[in-house]
Structure 1
């Protein structure tokens, strides 16, 4: 797997590395956001070299599932990206998102420079002061050391596996909520209704 110390940033773009549960979910949302040029699912924040999906899922490597988002800061600010990030996962649940439980599903912002660190801390402070969440925000803010790109089959997983149970029940409602809240920021107009996923809350665990 490819890896990068600080993201493959190019002239005129910025890179953010975010963790908020299943990387399939985050990727499905961010790739639709105006200003986002590329989203890569992978792993960060761990202590073992060259982790693979099986190892990360064991919870022994210390890695979190992350997405590395390359975006155009003239079209999408980091602050706006973080606004979406905090709206599409629960930053108050420690090491868990819905049915996915373990340190690999923790909420985290792996900053690439001091400017990103300040932006992350200010966003959390503002949400705390506004009491946006009932419980305390537990999002980790830590420097990005190494990003490991995930296996090929994880990339654009939602786009390529729309009929899969996890996509229909877990990701579809998350994407639908995002589109309802941020319809003016979508790359493409909504053309079809997403599957509702009704019939129970969190009934599918993708590891099962």
Structure 2
């Protein structure tokens, strides 16, 4: 799926509405798709994922231009916009479907993710140890259409205001030079 400078990154860090809203604003990101990965059944539906029994994580798949943004820069934004120290939880969202994970597409991505986590832990960037899993990518299932571009269509609802908006504020504050 790589063309010229286009590459794929797959992340999970809680609610995919949040992560999609963050990465949709980043220079070099061509496309962000919300969906499910890391589970054990084919073609899961959102209602199945929310039970936590399928093993899938809510995640995003990013198509990015590495001439404009590097994988390590994507990792920086990924780790800065969620809590990678809470196991199977992001805020009030609890369960394995909300775990923090990097699903790597190459050995290079694996090594970059592992080295970045080691660096963050050794520098004590977070108060607790990072629990983000680094796992080989297998398959990604697109979420149902009503989950795509959720923030853009629902920015006024309370979930967006209380959960997504603070992540976007952090992105604007610390990564303004990387925004579209």
The TM-score range, normalised by the shorter chain, is over 0.9
In structure 2, what is the equivalent of residue 14 of structure 1? Answer: 7
Q: CA deviation at 1:11?
A: 3.0
Task: Give structure 2 stretches of 5+ with no counterpart.
Answer: none
What's the TM-score, normalizing by structure 1? 0.85
C-alpha distance in 2, partners of 1:31/1:19? Answer: 15
Aligned-partner SS, 1:58 = coil
Task: Give structure 1 stretches of 5+ with no counterpart.
Answer: 1-7, 188-208
Please show how residues 105-116 of structure 1 align to structure 2 within 5 Å: 105-116=98-109
In structure 2, what is the equivalent of residue 153 of structure 1? Answer: 146
Provide, for residues 152-183 of structure 1, a one-character-per-residue CA deviation record: whole Å limited to 9, x for no partner.
11111101111111111111111111101111
Q: CA deviation at 1:98?
A: 0.3
In structure 2, what is the equivalent of residue 165 of structure 1? Answer: 158
Higher share of residues assigned helix: 2
Provide, for residues 19-47 of structure 1, a one-character-per-residue CA deviation record: whole Å limited to 9, x for no partner.
00000000101000011100000000000
**RMSD, aligned α-carbons:** 0.8
Q: CA deviation at 1:62?
A: 0.1
In the TM superposition, structure 1's runs of 4+ consecutive aligned residues that sit over 6 Å from their partners are none
Q: How many residue pairs are counted as aligned between the two chains? A: 180
Provide, for residues 117-138 of structure 1, a one-character-per-residue CA deviation record: whole Å limited to 9, x for no partner.
0011011011011111111100
Q: CA deviation at 1:9?
A: 3.3
Aligned-partner SS, 1:59 = coil
C-alpha distance in 1, partners of 2:64/2:57? Answer: 21
